[in-house]
Amino acid sequence: MTTPASLTQDELKTLVGQAALQYVVPGEIVGVGTGSTVNKFIDALASMKDSIKGAVSSSTASTQRLQQLGIPVFDANEVESLSVYIDGADEIDGSGYMVKGGGAALTREKIVAALAKRFVCIADASKRVEALGGFPLPVEVIPMATSQIQRRFAAMGGEATVRLKDGSPLVTDNGQHILDVRGLVIRDPLAFESAVNQWPGVVTVGVFAHQRAHVCLLGTAQGVETLSY
């Protein structure tokens, strides 16, 4: 038998993905995020697909995975509210504030999170931080505003670079670009998110403070740790 201490990061992701099933409300539509940990949750969700109506997904990739497993996917415009949204994080602090967007789906993730009464974050222990900013902060931007947004981050002490894919700027599901900002320490995530979201040309900043986690299922060497905020 495998002991928790010997579990790989991939196995920890599987554990937290399975643990998230307890937050899925039978008979309802569940909000589903994006990323490698969420893929483990989607795989686990297939085991109870007959007891839910379906899912609202935050990305094309998650939608395809859900549909391949026979789980109906609804457009966000078809849903007034969700009881729960389950997604990963690139960083999460002691208040449930997160940095997200490493997978470039931050805007759609924030839209689905805003529909949900409860955000359940699933992550491994390496994602827990004292202060946000160690992970490069993703910011989805309209391309024509790229340079002026880079200058604004430089004035804050950050270095913003355009995320590339195959040598060209990555294009999001929304047809926009991503800036990854290094060198910031985000001490007041709520104020930071509010301020940057007001900059012309910013579609979404990857700080999730207004849509923070209510619960985090953290994969640790001792197993799954449940944190409530």
Which amino acids are annotated catalytic? Answer: 109
Tell me: is residue 94 an annotated ligand-binding position: no
Is 228 annotated in some ligand binding site? no
Q: Does the annotation flag 13 for ligand binding? A: no
Using alpha carbons only, give the angle 159, 210, 30 rounded to the nearest 5 degrees.
110
Instruction: Name every residue whose Cβ is closer than 8 Å to that of residue 200 and which is 6 or more positions away in sequence.
Output: 145, 148
Q: Are 81 and 115 in contact (CB under 8 A)?
A: yes
Question: Residue 134: what are its φ and ψ, rounded to 5°?
Answer: -65, -40
For residue 81, say whether it is annotated as part of any ligand binding site: no
Check the CA dihedral 103-107-112-115 and report its sign.
Answer: positive
**Mode of pairing for the β-strands spanning 137-141 and 202-205:** antiparallel
Strands 85-87 and 29-32: parallel
Residue with tokens 């294009």: 171
Tell me: is residue 37 an annotated ligand-binding position.
Answer: yes
> Is residue 14 annotated as involved in ligand binding?
no
Give me the numbers of helices (H) and strands (E) for the chain, helices first please: 6, 16
Question: Does 167 carry a binding-site annotation?
Answer: no
Q: Is 127 marked as binding a ligand? A: yes
Contact, 57 vs 69, CB < 8 A? no
102 is annotated as contributing to ligand binding = yes
Output the known binding site for substrate.
34-37, 87-90, 100-103, 127
Output the known binding site.
34-37, 87-90, 100-103, 127
